[in-house]
Structure 1
C-alpha cells in the first residue's frame, strides 16, 4: 500500500468515526477548521514550509458543508495560481481540496534580475506606463513548475478607448515574459440584431458608458468594423445607443454588420461545442474580427492572416452583400486551416483548402438551425442575384465550372473549382448518394467535370463526417496534401474515431472511390 493510500485510508477512517458524533460546525469555526485541514492533509492541499493563507470567502451549503477559499503565499510572496479551496462536510470533516498546483512550492526567493529590469522587459512586451508602481516579486505557479517571477502592472488604453491594466509576468531569472492578462474585464450583454439573411438574431455585445459596441467578450472579443467603402485601415467598430442593431435592409449599414457578427459567433460556437476548438487559433488568445462595407461594389469576401480578420464587400448588380452565414463560416475556416494543415492555396492542396471552407461553412449553417437560413449543401445561396447558388456540393458541376470528379489535371484549374470533388465526396459521405436534401451521382473512370456513374454510397451523417474531416485536417493533413493524401488522412481519422473497418471507415473509402480517388 502506498503512503498516499495509507494517508487516504487513515483520513477516511477519521472522517467515518467523526461523522458519528461531531456537531455541525458553526459558521465562525469554518475558517479555523479549514486551516487545520490544510496542514493535516498536506498531500491534498500542497502545503509546505513557508506557506501561508489568506481567506477570501466561505460558501456554506444547505447541509452545513463549507468550502473555504484561500489565497496562498510563500515566504511572504503572492503565489499566482496557488489559490486553494478546502471542502468540509456538515460535521467539519475534510472532504477534499481544489487547486491547480502540480508540485509543492519549495524554491529560492533570490531573484537574478532587478525589479527595474523586469519593468523594462514588461514595457518592451506591452506598450504603456507602470505609473511608478514597482514590480512585485511573486511565485508564478500557473505553469508546470513554480517559478520566481515579477508581476509588472502596465497601464494604457486599448484601441477602442477602453483602459488597459495589464499584468505582465516576467521570469525573475532571465527576464522572459511568461504570461500577461488584462485586469479590465468588459461587460458582455445580449443585443438584438436585424440581419439581411438570418432574420432577427441575438448578438453578444459589449457595454460602454456611452452605449454599446459590436464586440463579444464572451467569444474571445470578436468584433465588427465599418470600412465605409474604404479599402485600407481597420475601420471603426460599430456602436449603438440601445443595443438594437440594423433594420434588416441595406438602408442601415448595421444590418450587414449584424450578419457578419452573428456568423462569426455561430462559427465560434460550432468549433467550440462540436470540435472543442476555442477560436480560430485554437486557444482563443488571438482576436478575430470582421470588416464590412469594404470598397465600392466589391463583390467578394476574404480571410487575411495578416490582420486575422474577415472582410466583406457589399456586392454589385449580380451579388448581394457577402455576409451570409455560410460565407462567414467559410471565411473563418480559412483561418482554422491556416493554423492547422495550412494547405497551400494552389494546386490540389488549394482545392482542398477551399473545399474545407465550404464543408465547414455548410456545417456551421446546419449547426445554427436558423429557420431564415436553413442548413443545406449550397454555398452562397442567399447572396446570389439571378442564380440559385455560388457552389453546389451535391453536384459541383452545376455551377458550370467546378469539377465533380478527380482527374490528373485537376490541380491546374482554379482552386474554387478544384474544390468540387472534395465537396462532392463530403456530401456523399455525410448524406449518401440519395437523400432528402438531394441526389448525387458517383464518378465513372474518365469522368472529369461531370459525374455520370450510378453507384451508391451510404451516408454516415453530417456530424460523423464533420468530425472525421476536422481530425484529418488538424492531425494528418500538411501544407502540400493532395487528393490521394486527403483520402489517407480521412481514413486515419476515421480509424482513430470509429475504428479501422468500421462503417464510418468503409464509407470514407467508398466516398473517395466515388470521386475516382482510390
Structure 2
C-alpha cells in the first residue's frame, strides 16, 4: 500500500472499510424525483473532473479560506484546508473544509460552508461548535510507543475535537492483521497530558467477460490484439489485479490475449476479476450519471480492485491508502465476494471518505456502513441487470452464511440476527455493521414504504416502531436526498439525530418545506425511532 500523503492524513477519521464485522466468517425504483429531475436546481450539477478541480482550486485560495475563517469566527491559529466542493445546478456551492490548529490536524474539526450562486455565505455545518484553545507545546511524556502501521506518519500530535472539549492528543495507527485476516489499521487517540485513551476506530472497513454473478457482461479494457489488460481508460483508469493469495501489495494486473475474460466459474481466476471490474464500472457510471460525480473523489481518477486476497477470506474491504477495493474468495475459496452490490458498497466507502468522512465508530460509523449499503442498492437499480435483479438485500449473491440467505435485509434489518431495526440510546455501542440497520431501514421505508410490499419479485414486510403505515417516494428520490445530505450537510461526527436533520434539510432544498417528500423523510425517521421536529 502506498504511504498516505499529509493531506490524506489530515482526513484520517475515515480511512478504510469492510463489508462485515471483523471476525465474522460465515415502489419503487422507477419513479422520477417529482418529475423535475433535470430542472431541480438543488440537485448536484453535472461536473467533469476538470470542472471539479477548478472549483476546488478556486476555493483553495488563501483569500477565500481566510474570508471563510473570519466569518466563522475562527482564531488566529486555526487554518482551513479545502477537501471538496459540491456545486448545485442553481449555482450554490458547499465547500468542505478540514482544519488545523497551530499547524496540527484537528480531528473532528471539519465543517462545510454553504454559499449561494453569487458567493454569499448562507450558513455552515460543523462537526463541532466547541472553541479550540490548547497548549500545543506540551511535554512528550505520554507519546505512545506502539508499533505503527506501515506507511503511517503516526504517532503524530493532533488536536482531538471529535467529542467533548478539544484537547491535545496523540494519534497512533496500529498495523498488522486482524483476527479475520484483514489488514489492521486501528487508530487510537490518547490524551497528550495524561496518556488516557480517548477514542479508537478501525481504519479497514471490512465493504466482454464471463462473470460469476452477473452473467456475460461488457467491461472496460485496453490494449490491442494479443495484449489486452483490465484497465478501463473510459472510467479514469480503473484497474483490476490478482493478489493470488497475498495479503498485501498491488497484485498482478489481469491480462488476456483475446479480450474475452473468465469462464463464469471460480476455476478461472479472471472470473472474479470480471465481477470486480464490472462492479467498479457500474458504480462509476452510477455516480456520474445520477449524481454528476466523475469518480469516487470527483476528480476523474479511477480506483484499483484487488481480487483473490488471502485464503478463504470471507470479506471485502475498501482502503483509502491504496484507493482500492479488496475481495476475498469466501469460505473454501468458492464464493468470491465480488458481486455488484458488494463492489458498489466498497467503492461507496470511498465516496463517504472524500465527502462527509463519517467516523468509523459509534453512530457515525453505523451511518458510514449504511451509506455503502444504500448506494449498493441504488447501483443495483441503476444497472438493472437481469442476472442480478435489483433488490433491497445486501450480499444476496455471495452466500456468505452458507444457506443462501442475504448478508443484510433493508426492510427488516433484524432478520440477520444482529442488526438494529430501530434507534435506541445504546445504538452507538453496537458494531457499526449492525447499527447501520437503523439507516438501512429508514431508506427502505422512504423508498418503498411499510408493511407487505413486492418489488421485482422480492417480497418484503417492513415494520415501523410507532406502528405507522408509510408510503414510499421511490428510490430515485430517496437516493438524491441521501447523497445531498451526505455531501452537503453531514460531517465526521454526524449521529442519527444529525442524519435526520441533514436529510430533512436536503429534502427541503430539493422539494420544498411543505412537500410530500419532506413529510415522508420525517415519517420514515420516526418509523425507526429517530424523532425530532
Class of the TM-score when normalised by the shorter of the 2 chains: 0.5 to 0.7
- In 2, the alpha carbon distance for the partners of 1:388 and 1:454 equals 27
Is residue 397 of structure 2 the alignment partner of residue 382 of structure 1?
Answer: yes
Preserved contact between residue 421 and residue 437 of structure 2 (Cα < 8 Å):
yes
Give the whole-Å Cα distance in 2 for the aligned partners of 1:484 and 1:358: 19
1:252 to 268, 271, 278: 268
| Matches of 1:429 and 1:407, distance apart in 2 | 20
Q: Does 1:505 align with 2:507?
A: no
Q: Does residue 1:323 correspond to 2:338, yes or no?
A: yes
1:474 corresponds, among 465, 483, 487, to 487
- 1:315-374 superposed Cα distances (whole Å, 9 cap, x missing partner): 114972100000000000000000000000000000000000000001111111111100
Aligned residue runs from structure 1 range 306-321, under 5 A = 306-317=321-332, 320-321=335-336
Whether contact under 8 Å (1:428, 1:440) holds in the other structure is no
User: How many angstroms apart in 2 are the aligned matches of 1:433 and 1:494?
Assistant: 20
Q: How does 1:41-120 map to 2 (within 5 A)?
A: none
Query: Deviation at 1:287?
Result: 2.7
Secondary structure of residue in 2 paired with 1:323: coil
What's the counterpart of residue 290 of structure 1?
305
Identify the match of residue 369 of structure 1 among 384, 407, 426. 384
**Could you tell me whether the CA contact under 8 Å between 1:340 and 1:474 is conserved in 2?**
yes
Q: CA separation of 1:237/1:342 partners in 2, compared to 1, >3 Å: closer, same or farther?
A: same
**Alpha-carbon distance, 1:440 to partner:** 3.8
Q: What does residue range 260-279 of structure 1 map to in structure 2 within 5 Å?
A: 260-279=276-295
Offset, 1:480 = 0.5
Q: Match of 1:303, SS?
A: strand
| Residue of 210, 223, 233 corresponding to 1:194 | 210
Distance of 1:207 and 1:319 partners within structure 2: 30
CA distance 1:432–1:332, shift in 2 (3 Å): same
Work out whether 1:413 is the aligned partner of 2:430: yes
The separation in 2 between residues aligned to 1:220 and 1:439, in whole angstroms, is 38
2:412 to 395, 408, 411: 395
Q: Is the 8 A contact 2:266 2:335 kept in 1?
A: no
CA contact (8 A) 2:212 2:266 kept: yes
Answering whether residue 354 of structure 2 is matched by residue 339 of structure 1, we say yes
The one of 229, 234, 238 aligned to 1:218: 234
Q: d(CA) in 2 for partners of 1:240 and 1:456? A: 54
| TM-superposed deviation, 1:441 | 3.8
- Unaligned segments of structure 1, at least 5 residues: 1-80, 82-191, 445-452
Separation (CA, whole Å) in 2 of partners of 1:320 and 1:250: 8
**Matched-pair contact (CA < 8 Å) for 2:412–2:462:** yes
2:437 paired with 1:424: no
Quote the RMSD (CA, aligned, Å). Answer: 1.5
Q: What is residue 530 of structure 2 aligned with on the other side? A: 517
Q: CA deviation at 1:377?
A: 0.6
Q: Superposed, which structure 2 residues align to 1:483-502 within 5 Å?
A: 483-502=496-515
Question: Which residue is 1:464 aligned to?
Answer: 477
Q: Which has the higher helix share?
A: 1
Matches within 5 A, 1:100-179: none
Q: Which of the two has higher C-alpha Rg?
A: 1
Q: Is the 8 A contact 1:298 1:316 kept in 2?
A: yes
Moved over 2 A (4+): 437-444
Aligned-partner SS, 2:438: helix
The whole-number CA distance in structure 2 between the counterparts of 1:442 and 1:483 is: 19
**Distance in 2 separating the partners of 1:299 and 1:360:** 22
Once the two structures are TM-superposed, the CA of residue 204 in structure 1 deviates from its matched residue by 1.0
Query: Of 199, 211, 236, which residue of structure 1 is paired with 2:252?
Result: 236
1-structure distance, mates of 2:242, 2:519: 48
1:463 positional shift: 0.2
**Using a 3 Å threshold, how does the CA distance of structure 1 residues 318 and 208 change in structure 2: closer, same or farther?**
closer
- Which residue of 1 is the match for residue 366 of structure 2? 351
- Matched-pair contact (CA < 8 Å) for 1:441–1:455: no
Q: Offset of 1:211 from its aligned partner?
A: 1.6
Flag the 1:336–1:212 CA change in 2: closer, same or farther, 3 A: same
Distance 1:460 1:198 in 2: 28
Aligned partners of 1:377 and 1:427 also within 8 Å:
yes
Look up the SS of the partner of 1:373 in the other structure.
coil
SS at match of 2:349: helix
Counterpart CA distance in 2 for 1:290 and 1:339 is: 18
**Are positions 1:436 and 2:451 aligned together?**
no
Q: Work out which structure has the larger RCO, using CA pairs closer than 8 Å and 6 or more positions apart in sequence.
A: 2
CA contact (8 A) 2:241 2:254 kept: yes
Unaligned runs of 5+ in 2: 1-49, 51-207
Contact 1:318 1:386 (C-alpha < 8 Å) held by counterparts: no
**Number of aligned residue pairs:** 319
